[in-house]
Amino acid sequence: MLDIQFIRKNAETVASKAQQKGYQVDIEQLLGFDEERKYLQAEVEDLRQKRNNLTKATKGQKPSEEQLTLGRQLRDEINNKQHRLEAVSKDFDRLLNDVPNIFADDVPIGDESASVEVTSYGDKPRGGQDHLDFMSERDWVDFERGAKVAGTKFYFLKGNGALLEEAIKQYVINFVINKGFTFLTVPHMVNLKTAVGAGFSPKSDKESNEYFIENEDLALIGTAEAPLTGYHANEILSEKQLPLFYVGHSPCYRREAGTYGKHTRGLFRVHQFNKVEMYAYTLPEQSQEVHEKIRSIEEEIWQSLNIPYRVINIASGDLGAPAFKKYDLEYWSKSDGVYRELTSCSNCTDFQARNLNIRVKRADGRLDMVHTLNGTASALSRSLIAIIEHYQTDDGKLRVPEVLRPYLNNQDEL
RNA sequence: GGAGAGAUGCAAGAGUGGUUGAAUUGGCUCGUCUCGAAAACGAGUGUACGUAUCAAAUACGUACCGUGGGUUCAAAUCCCACUCUCUCCGCCA
């Protein structure tokens, strides 16, 4: 969430940025609730002060009948006002939580089509076999049996398909560790407070991409970003510790309901995939620099695998609620002749941190919200697609990218 | 899943209804002493919101002793539910 004090001072900016993100929020109504809440709170506090004074006056001795009567009167008044305060606070919180993060000045304004290419790498070759055909022919992937045991868009990776995924995973984890990130495995479920705090839709939201566990306060994670955000919840970090760099590996579970019209062939959009995710906690003044660093690590990874790509600066209308700025790295699909999303990195500034109360104590003793950032190192299923499209040989083999060979018994072909 | 014990500030740990935001010890910060350090001594050491006041510093008020509710004129303290931790039993990779 945003800081209410920030909203009070920048109401117009917040309202217009929310609109440009495509969110419907009534800032005026929010500020109205804010005023009412403050007024009621002052009244309640005033009554409590009276009650406390009365209590102090009675000290060790038994209160008089008059004091008891006054006390009862105060109790009832406090309860009464308190209930009204709670009702208003609830409305206030609901609206406040609906306000999305503002976005950076250099974010293009508009819908998806307004996103701007920042840089690109490699040529745009065409041809070769589609990843699903290539993998199915070699029995590297089995969607039919995936459907048999779970449902549509579930799959088994098999033999070299599974081994190749494992190799990419190992390579990428090591790559990121060498950049100074600490490797973590994470809980594959999080409680709703964590899920919502990280910016994932609440259970009540029918559009939610999350799987919820029946009768439990738990959701399957859609990304390791959720547990990595919650990792430092309710903590006060020291200035010296920051920035903190984590890399998590986990399966990602997504309902993907209503994704009609989106590219869903093969492994591109599935209900479960593995992902290596970078995550950073930074001082406020560091986050933009760290965002560029995370983006450059993503670029280095895909350059080292020699996959052609472009990086786009995502337009306002396509940013999620928590994101201040987001880059997507899109690989060039050799078989389809289009760019498709491969990784994504976002600077969420203090939006997630405020939800989960993650602060830093500065050298002068003041407290600030930290900034949080996330970036995909490798979504394994999509990484498989990119590599299979670009490393097919004319005689129907898969040439193993050089950097992956140490993780595949030094084979040069599969 | 069953039985029991517990959750208090940075940490350990006291506190079983009323000057308790909270004893004590340790840690940490600052100061005195010292050529310097140690020791000793002295002082300080939470967060949120609101008001004074536009901001900071400060002062005052309110809230916070796992979470949520309840009893009471008054709750860290009594009652209920939940969460988590530990021990034992069962089950289990």
Closest nucleotide to residue A48 (Cα to C1')?
A: B62
Q: Inform me whether the pLDDT recorded for A240 exceeds 90.
A: no
Q: Do residue A204 and residue A315 come from a single domain?
A: yes
3-state helix, strand, coil in chain A (%, to 5): 45, 20, 35
> How many other CB atoms sit within 10 Å of the CB of residue A120?
15
Q: CATH code at A347?
A: 3.30.930.10
Q: Does residue A106 form part of some domain? A: no
pLDDT at A273: 96
How far: A2 CA to B80 C1' (Å)?
36
Mean pLDDT value across chain A: 92
A240 strand B contact, CB < 7 Å: no
- Domain of residue A36, residue span: 4-98
Q: Inform me whether the pLDDT recorded for A201 exceeds 90.
A: no
Q: Is the peptide bond before A125 cis (omega within 30 degrees of 0)?
A: no
A63 strand B contact, CB < 7 Å: yes
Q: Do residue A61 and residue A123 come from a single domain?
A: no
Closest nucleotide to residue A83 (Cα to C1')?
A: B69
Nucleotides of B under 7 A from a protein CB: 18-19, 47-51, 57, 61-63, 72-74
pLDDT at A60: 61
- Let me know how many helices (H) and strands (E) chain A has, helices first: 12, 16
Question: Are the CB atoms for A387 and A407 separated by under 8 Å?
Answer: no
pLDDT at A363: 79
A60 strand B contact, CB < 7 Å: yes
Backbone angles phi, psi at A338, to 5 degrees: -140, 165
d(CA A1, CA A321): 9
The structural domain count of chain A equals 2
pLDDT tens-digit readout, A342-360: 999 999 999 999 999 999 8
Q: Do residue A269 and residue A396 come from a single domain?
A: yes
A178 strand B contact, CB < 7 Å: no
Question: Are the CB atoms for A374 and A349 separated by under 8 Å?
Answer: no
pLDDT at A59: 65
How far: A227 CA to B10 C1' (Å)?
26
Q: Do residue A282 and residue A352 come from a single domain?
A: yes
A56 strand B contact, CB < 7 Å: yes
pLDDT tens-digit readout, A142-199: 999 999 999 999 999 999 999 999 999 999 999 999 999 999 999 999 998 899 999 8
Q: CATH code at A33?
A: 1.10.287.40
Q: Does residue A168 form part of some domain? A: yes
pLDDT at A215: 80
The model's confidence at residue A393, banded by pLDDT at 50, 70 and 90, is very high
- Evaluate whether ipTM surpasses 0.90: no
Q: Does residue A413 form part of some domain? A: no
pLDDT at A217: 85
A303 strand B contact, CB < 7 Å: no
A46 strand B contact, CB < 7 Å: yes
